[in-house]
Amino acid sequence: MNEKALLVVSFGTSHPETKEKTIEAIENDLAAAFPDRRLYRAWTSSMLRRKVKADTGEHIDSVAEALARMAGQGITDVLIQPTHLLAGEEHDKLCRELESGKAAFSSVTVGKPLLAAEEDIAVLAALLPGLCPSLGAGELMVWMGHGSGALRLPVYQILDGLLSQNGHPDHTVGTVEFDPGFDAVLERVRQRRPARVILAPLMVVAGDHAVNDMAGDDPDSWQSRLRAEGPAVTCVLRGLGEYEAIRALYVAHARAAKPL
């Protein structure tokens, strides 16, 4: 008999509130789209799996553990959808684990991360301005991504360029850990001289980076550094996973999943 499963793979988060509103919301929408499949969850961050175990006692599977659990429960056909934003390091790690674990199943198909190809970036560029309140004159929307050192496509630069090209030069994109970094955001602020900057995460969850690096009170946070530049700063602590339109993109990627 063909036993089917849906494995949703996320990076993870230690913030329970955003976990529910983002990772679990995506899992729920995917489960609803594939009612004939049993839902399983895995996180790629071992640090965050340990943190959640220590904080709440909840065990969350690694990818290898989830694959073993599914095989042990008689699953033969697995659809895997990552909630990763990009095909970066975490996604490469997932692909390697699937290569070694796939032999236990008769069928393994995998959906792409949110921004896997240029078409995906165009879709997000068209969507983002509708996800925040409409901007007045003198307002600048800054989307703070994580960044990655392992990208084939310069995703953030392409997204920033498309937002401007589409008539939204009052939206810009920067990343916490890689290029384009905070300096690129600062440059846009100095060009446009906004009276108000709105900061929001360009990350699936609004976890540590959003709470601390973006919206934190200490002088190093983006909020503090932008305020020091002059404009008023407002922070929106909503991960991308909180938006139904974004979750629908993950469902579409799962429907287009290809064999590994």
Q: What are the catalytic residues?
A: 146
Of residues 160, 156, 138, the one with CA closest to residue 148:
156
Backbone CA torsion sign across 17, 22, 25, 27: negative
**Helices 118-127, 155-165: inter-axial angle, 10-degree rounding:** 50
Q: How far apart are CA 41 and CA 61, in angstroms?
A: 7
User: How long a stretch of residues is the chain?
Assistant: 260
Scored b (16 or more CB within 10 A) or e, 135-158 reads beeebbbbbbbbbbeebeeebbeb
Measure the CA–CA gap between 199 and 221, rounded to whole angstroms. 11
DSSP annotation of 2 reads -
Residues 6 or more apart whose CB falls under 8 angstroms from that of 253 comprise 81, 111, 112, 113, 114, 116
